[in-house]
Amino acid sequence: MQQIVDVILPVFGLIAIGYLTAATRLLSENVGDALGDFVFTIAVPLLIFRTLATADFAGAAPWPLWIAYFTGVAVSWGLALAVIRLGFGRDARAGVIAGVSSSFSNLVLVGTPLVMTAFGEEGLVPIFLVVSVQLPVMMVVSTLLIERAGRQDRGPVAVESGSLAARLARNIFTNPLIVAILAGAAWRMTGLPIPGPAKSLVDGLAAAAIPCALFSLGMGLKRYGIAGNIGPATILTALKLIVMPAVVWAVVSRFPGVPPLWVKVLTIGAATPTGVNAYLIAVRFRTGHGLASNTITLTTALAVLTVTMWLHFFEG
């Protein structure tokens, strides 16, 4: 139990401190935004690069991880879509936002610190293998589905000029996380170590990734808050924090040859709160803002309980 406390308190404690800092206006929201930009564009990408460039994959293939994770995504998304469309009578675009909100895990800002604290750098390998596919897959699928939903609803969907494929490719391959993943994989193929001075620089900036990520997330939560859509958001929260990790664990634990550590990491990753991308997608398509923001807030607040439950399960 002490080990669980040692994992949970530093992670969610930093989120709480960030939230209180924003709530009391000790620091302005602009500080949180700037810190989040630093985390997203520099600190976490360097952490990803270092991990993928130097990690030992122990001969394990990523396919079981991807199959199990996206099985959990599909189940949670499908149930969320049914609940919002049939149970609450919302339109097709809101159904897509519900699906994203119930299945897009915050693997970078919450999953990475949790895994690093609980399992050390060895646990970062499987979490980054999932990060490498979650972002492009979820962004492509959600964009395609919400534009299709816009036609179903017979309402206008704001789009930019240019083809959809070109926009998606540009958004994906200019994303700092994707760039870091590709660069780390390319460096690994060379078989060369990271040179001493460069390694010291990378290590120093990567070390700032976890505390800064958690603090900036806490400050960001003040902006989202809770307003309306409590019933739907509560159901989406249960799907994200309970159903999705349970499905992921049930699938990945049955694949032969998957290291036990990878099973734990994947399950904990699936049990993390909803990522801010759900809100960004809602803003981009001008629908479901409250649904996404409430789910982000509730899942972040309640993840402390579900992550504790899973850590206790694996400890036993």
Give residue-wise pLDDT tens across range 274-303. Answer: 988 888 788 777 777 788 888 998 999 899
How many CB atoms are closer than 10 A to CB 121? 13
Note the pLDDT of residue 33: 84
> For residue 161, what pLDDT is reported?
44
* Per-residue model confidence (pLDDT) at position 260: 93
Of these ranges, 48-52, 193-197, 231-235, 246-250, the one predicted with the greatest mean pLDDT is 246-250
pLDDT of residue 166: 74
Span 205-219, pLDDT tens digits: 988 888 988 898 888
Average pLDDT over residues 101-120: 91
Structure confidence at residue 303 (pLDDT) = 92
State residue 244's pLDDT score: 97
In the block, tokens 């994707």 appear at 178
Say which residue the tokens 């699906």 belong to: 99
pLDDT of 58 reads 60
Domain extent, residue 71, equals: 2-315
What pLDDT band is residue 267 in, cutting at 50, 70 and 90? very high
**Predicted confidence (pLDDT) at residue 9 exceeds the cutoff of 80:** yes
CB 30 within 8 A of CB 204: no
pLDDT value at 230 more than 70: yes
Q: What is the DSSP string of 188-222?
A: HHHTPPPPHHHHHHHHHHHHTHHHHHHHHHHHHHH
For 180-210, the pLDDT digits (tens) are: 888 988 888 888 888 888 889 988 998 888 8
Query: 248: pLDDT confidence band, cut at 50, 70 and 90?
Result: very high
Q: How far apart, in whole angstroms, are the C-alpha atoms of residue 71 and residue 266? A: 12
What would the pLDDT profile of 31-41 be if each residue is shown by its tens digit?
Answer: 888 888 898 88
What CATH number did the domain enclosing 124 receive? 1.20.1530.20
Mean pLDDT of the chain: 85
Both tokens of 176, joined, read 């700092």
Number of domains in the chain: 1
Q: What is the pTM of this model?
A: 0.84
Is the model's pLDDT at 229 over the cut of 90?
no
